[in-house]
Structure 1
Amino acid sequence: MSALPSLRFWFEYNSPYSYLAAVRVLRALEAPVSPRFAIEFRPFLLGPVFAKTSPVGPKGPVLSNPAKTRYVIRDMQRLCQREGIVYRGWPGKPKPRPVNTTAAARLTALLNACLVPADGSALPLAAQRLLARWVLDVFEAMFVHHYDVSKPEVLTALLQSRAEAWHTPLAVAPLLQELGITANPGSLVHAATTHPHTEAMVQDNTDQAIANDIFGAPFFITDDGERFWGSDRWADATAWAVNPMDLPAKL
């Protein structure tokens, strides 16, 4: 049986539209009919991307612009109500503020690496579902419950809440043995915040994002390099992944 085409899901935990995309990813993976593509998860950091592509204030292009902030929050309210998703905006009252999502991105990259098969092939569907559920847990912690995911204790509690599902995959993960990391939530979060390997994984993802001309989040990129920006391009991205269009060369 030939391998399924891949669809790389590039996301940033500070991005509300990445939250919406994560919902769509999980719904597709948990649908009664299995998707005809495999999701590859690529957590990255928008700060370095913005610094390279479009320098803005320290809060990024949305939260640095009050008018844009108000628009995005209202737009997300409309979209999420239509999708049946809870959304309460960025943490921070009365002014929304970005959260340091570095630790969450590193932990996600580490969990992803623990699930990758020994031959480096795409994650099995069950592993994709497990990781997609985790990604959505982090987004909901931010945009529904307003938890500060920069805090190790918050990430530890989130992972502990899924400990039963993660127990077997982590217990047999060769990477944790290689890095000397104990397969329990507290140790994994500590490694995410301190281990050079987890730092390098997210740095590599961020460098690849810049190299792939990614300038925002979410982005979806197919095997043939076709790029789709925004959660509203999900249907286009999945369709292209399984049946690329015959278009002229890029302008």
Structure 2
Amino acid sequence: MAHIDYFFATLSPFAYLAGTRLEEIAAKHGATITYKPLDIIALFSRTGGTPPGQRHPSRQAYRAQELPRSAKKAGIPLNLKPAHWPTNMAPSSYAIIAAQNAGGGDLGKLCHGLMRCVWAEEKDIAQEDVIRACLEEAGFDPSLADSGLLEGAETYARNLEEAVDKGVFGAPFYVVDSGQVFWGQDRLDDLDAHLSGDL
């Protein structure tokens, strides 16, 4: 059975545009997933990337066209300039880590719900009430939003170090235990083919 380490940031528009396809692909192949939210800005600084706001205007202009195109292809609503972006990623990331440790709900639904709040619903995922609502909607105890903060912080930092060690430099990033890595929601078909043995 294959295993996928899924490195992502709760503010990443491209992770949002992946929808729940990772979970669908994993279910198709009987693969397991470990969710590893991380600080994408810190990852950029460690791996030679540049935060979106500091990129050359031509790169920013391309991103402004590419995101709506990708959203339209995926059939997912997208606000290109959300009201609460950027915001503090740590609280939502800690909640995902706590939910993964607790079990009992749908982690894919939780992650997508949090990102949908940013990119479609104009909600601030640094706010406890928003996080609690997403936890509850995904079948988790909403009190996980304010528990396990120390463990969440430690795991969040560890995820960043592990990402750097494994060659991760963006989000979403999928690391399969076969040694193959896939960057971007537009590589999910390749991940699917790899798990099928065709790539």
Q: TM-score surpassing 0.5? A: yes
Structure 1 spans left out of the alignment, 5+ residues: 116-125, 167-183, 246-251
- RMSD between superposed Cα atoms in Å: 2.3
Structure 2 spans left out of the alignment, 5+ residues: none
The yes-or-no answer on 1:239 pairing with 2:193 is yes
**Once the 2 structures are TM-superposed, how far is the Cα of residue 224 of structure 1 from its aligned partner?**
2.0
Q: How does 1:167-182 map to 2 (within 5 A)?
A: none
User: Which amino acid counterpart does residue 235 of structure 1 have in structure 2?
Assistant: D
TM-score (norm 1): 0.71
- Contact kept in structure 2, 1:77 and 1:87, CA below 8 Å: yes
CA pair 83-229 structure 1, distance change in 2 beyond 3 A: same
CA pair 156-36 structure 1, distance change in 2 beyond 3 A: closer
CA pair 231-145 structure 1, distance change in 2 beyond 3 A: same
Q: How does 1:150-161 map to 2 (within 5 A)?
A: 150-161=126-137
User: Which amino acid counterpart does residue 112 of structure 2 have in structure 1?
Assistant: L
* Structure 1 equivalent of residue 125 of structure 2: 149
* Structure 1 equivalent of residue 145 of structure 2: 189
Q: Percent identity?
A: 22
Q: How does 1:105-144 map to 2 (within 5 A)?
A: 105-115=93-103, 130-144=106-120
User: Which amino acid counterpart does residue 97 of structure 2 have in structure 1?
Assistant: A
Cα separation, 1, equivalents of 2:116 and 2:26: 18
* Structure 2 equivalent of residue 248 of structure 1: none
TM-score (norm 2): 0.87
* Structure 2 equivalent of residue 41 of structure 1: 35
**Once the 2 structures are TM-superposed, how far is the Cα of residue 87 of structure 1 from its aligned partner?**
1.0
Cα separation, 2, equivalents of 1:138 and 1:87: 13
Cα separation, 1, equivalents of 2:77 and 2:23: 15
User: Which amino acid counterpart does residue 173 of structure 2 have in structure 1?
Assistant: F
Q: Which has the larger radius of gyration?
A: 1
1:20-50 residue CA offsets vs partner (Å, 9 max, x unmatched):
22432244467xxx33422322211112212
